[in-house]
């Protein structure tokens, strides 16, 4: 799906101006790019939400039109209020469609491991994101990881995966993605018998003290 949005060049700055922009249902933004000056913009909040609802989310390439310019861009960073989750500011980066870019892609497990299905283990999903390099048109939604053949104590590493066509993995081949673990045994509480042994260890000290007090009285 090709997304295109109209943006406005931002001419007013400062905290008060930013608050006014957000009250109007818009978001302050800035566009970075190779060979272009940083462009301060204003985006509609509903347009940003539309991008975040796509399958590729932050990795979605969309077109921004402002003044007489038109640029293919991607979200670089979204700043939010940590307390209210309100959107504060968005950084956009220009995308040149004929140049490879680096993005972070989620890994998605598929299948049911033998070690879980018949051997009583559980899936430990260790690495959930992977950095890749590819042309913008080749950015995948996710990297599938088939775990159906894994037995108990077995793992699957990055080197076990075949990258999609036109995609290069930017992560060490030995990086563990997933392994099938044995559930840990629950900690056993101290039993009454063990508590009794502990009391027995203390008892000679008590007897020794009482004997010393008795000898002192006889003197």
DSSP, residue by residue, 167-203: -EE-S-TT-EEEEEEPPPPPPPPPPHHHHHHHHHHHH
CATH superfamily of this structure's domain 3-94: Ribosomal Protein L25; Chain P (2.40.240.10)
pLDDT at 205 over 70: no
In the CATH scheme, what is the code of domain 101-181?
2.170.120.20
DSSP, residue by residue, 48-102: HHHHHTSTTGGG--EEEEETTEEEEEEEEEEEE-TTT--EEEEEEEE--TTS-EE
- Tell me, what's the pLDDT at 154? 96
The H or E element containing residue 162 is none
Arithmetic mean of pLDDT over the chain: 86
- Tell me, what's the pLDDT at 77? 92
The model's pTM = 0.72
Confirm if 130 and 142 have CB atoms less than 8 A apart.
no
* Band of pLDDT at residue 217, cut at 50, 70 and 90: low
Residue range 44-57: average pLDDT?
Answer: 89
The Cβ-side half-sphere exposure at 151, using a 13 Å CA radius, reads 0
Confirm if 52 and 67 have CB atoms less than 8 A apart.
no
- Strand 155-157 and strand 122-125: the pairing is unpaired
Tokens 């993995």 — which residue? 169
* Residues 53-73 pLDDT 10s: 888 888 999 999 998 889 999
Structure tokens at 133: 């390099």
Q: What percent of the chain has pLDDT over 70?
A: 84
Per-domain residue ranges for the chain? 3-94, 101-181
Confirm if 147 and 178 have CB atoms less than 8 A apart.
yes
* Residues 122-154 pLDDT 10s: 999 999 999 999 999 999 999 999 999 999 999
Radius of gyration of the chain (CA): 31
- Tell me, what's the pLDDT at 119? 94
Question: Which residue has better confidence, 184 or 69?
Answer: 69
**Phi and psi, residue 100, nearest 5°:** -70, 145
Structure tokens at 124: 């430990």
Nearest to 8 by CA among 32, 37, 28, 33: 28
* Residues 91-126 pLDDT 10s: 999 999 999 999 999 999 999 999 999 999 999 999
The Cβ-side half-sphere exposure at 145, using a 13 Å CA radius, reads 27
Tokens 């699957």 — which residue? 156
DSSP 168: E
* Residues 171-181 pLDDT 10s: 999 999 999 99
- Tell me, what's the pLDDT at 3? 87
């Amino acid at each position: 799906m090709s997304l295109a949005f109209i943006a406005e060049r931002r001419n007013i700055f400062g905290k008060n101006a930013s608050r006014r922009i957000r009250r109007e249902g818009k978001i302050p933004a800035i566009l970075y790019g190779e060979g272009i000056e940083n462009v301060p913009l204003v985006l509609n909040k509903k347009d940003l939400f539309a991008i975040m609802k796509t399958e590729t989310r932050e990795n979605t390439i969309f077109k921004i039109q402002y003044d007489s310019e038109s640029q293919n861009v991607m979200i670089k960073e979204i700043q939010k209020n940590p307390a209210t989750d309100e959107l504060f500011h968005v950084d956009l980066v220009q995308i040149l469609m004929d140049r490879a870019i680096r993005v972070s892609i989620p890994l998605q497990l598929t299948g049911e491991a033998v070690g879980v299905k018949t051997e009583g283990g559980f899936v430990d999903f260790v690495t959930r994101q992977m950095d890749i390099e590819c042309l913008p048109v080749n950015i995948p939604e996710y990297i599938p990881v088939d775990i159906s053949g894994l037995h108990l104590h077995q793992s699957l590493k990055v080197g076990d995966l075949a990258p999609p066509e036109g995609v290069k993995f930017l992560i060490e081949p030995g990086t563990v993605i997933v392994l099938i673990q044995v559930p840990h045994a629950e900690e056993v509480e101290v039993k009454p018998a063990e508590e009794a042994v502990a009391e027995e260890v203390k008892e000679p000290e008590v007897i020794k003290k009482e004997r010393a007090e008795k000898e002192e009285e006889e003197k």
